[in-house]
Amino acid sequence: MSQWWPYIQNLPKRFTVPIFYTSEEIQALQYLPLTHQVHKRIQFLNEFVAEVKPAIVGQAPQPGQPFNNYQILPHALAWAATAASSRAFQVHREGGGSSLLPLVDMCNHSFTPTGRLLQHSSESQSLPVLEVVAEKDLEKGENVVLNYGPLSNDILLLDYGFVMPKNPNDRVELRYDDQLLHMACLVAKVNIDSFKDPTTSQLALLTRLNLHGPSSSQMVTLGGTELVEGRLLAAVRVMHAQDPMELLDVDLEALQTWNQSPPLGVLNERKTIRTLIGLGMLALASFPTEIEEDQSELVKGDISENHRLAIQFRMLKKRLLLDTIKGLKARDPT
């Protein structure tokens, strides 16, 4: 029997990460960027089993062979992968990689941690030494919690099976798309002439922002203390520029931040903010239910834990959008 058996035996028998959700529970997330990632992970596990298992089942055990000739079902492999990914810590050592740390992995996550993980070398051991150190004096029975890192609720749910209210790292992902911006202008009642036929200088700046061109990265975000990802803020400002001359030698860094003085003038700033508000409203309207409906569904006693988590996840995304819209309205120079 492996020396790790007592540890493995005490791992959770089930996890609340979305790869174990039913189709209905996945649909309840109501957020395409996350459901896309869930399906990708499920597909990977199924393909891994389909490709690897036939090559090892029925063969004599080989050195380093996984599963030791036992038949492994996809659900069991998913459990093992989740047990590792939800508990692994990055360890700085030769070859890199992550490690499972018994006892340390009992520490829950918090953005206001009471402890931290330290690593140092030891002359008597080849492997690094890790220890959890309290960040403050702890009361008897008080939990030691660690900060897992600046993770969004998408990653927290995907990898760990929980979400955090008021997560400072959470965002709503959108695809930078001309048609979507046209609709945002219509919702915000902003003139869209500048969006119909971009000038050469506008397209050049969008290319520099990596939002235009064959290898561009068009995923942008709303939310957080900055309210809007800098690239998106700059792009909307650029597209609302009335005079191509004002884009000559423009400071691209300044366009991506909120300054006391609008970089392209007050009128441009007003249009930009209203367009971004319209974008937030469209993102909010893309959810099939409203927060009040979600709250009513949560009070039901006949929904699964996974379904409850899915509802909490989507509610936090909607509240994030509402906070973003409120923050943008406060910045409107009118």
Q: What pLDDT, in 10s, does the model give residues 284-300? A: 999 999 999 999 999 98
Mean pLDDT across the stretch 264-281?
Answer: 96
User: Which pLDDT score is estimated for 201?
Assistant: 92
Counting the structural domains of the chain, the total is 3
pLDDT at 58 over 80: no
Domain limits for position 232 = 172-331
Q: What is the DSSP letter of 19?
A: G
- Sequence-distant (6+) residues with CB within 8 A of 306 are 16, 18, 20, 21, 22, 25
pLDDT at 122 over 90: no
pLDDT at 66 over 80: no
Mean of per-residue pLDDT scores for the chain:
89
Same domain as 194, residue 94: no
User: Which pLDDT score is estimated for 71?
Assistant: 66
- Domain end marker among 63, 85, 107: 85
Residue 163 domain-assigned (yes or no): no
Same domain as 111, residue 67: no
Please report, rounded to a whole number, the percentage of residues in the chain having pLDDT higher than 90. 66
User: Which pLDDT score is estimated for 23?
Assistant: 97
Distance CA 47, CA 176 (A): 32
Query: What's the token pair of residue 58?
Result: 């029925």
Q: What pLDDT, in 10s, does the model give residues 129-147? A: 888 999 999 999 999 999 9
| Residue type at 158 in one-letter notation | L
- Domain end marker among 48, 63, 85: 85
115-122/98-100 β-pairing: unpaired
Same domain as 181, residue 309: yes
Please report, rounded to a whole number, the percentage of residues in the chain having pLDDT higher than 70. 91
Distance CA 163, CA 90 (A): 21
Distance CA 254, CA 262 (A): 9
Question: Model pTM greater than 0.85?
Answer: yes
- CA nearest to 17, candidates 329, 317, 306, 315: 306
Same domain as 176, residue 61: no
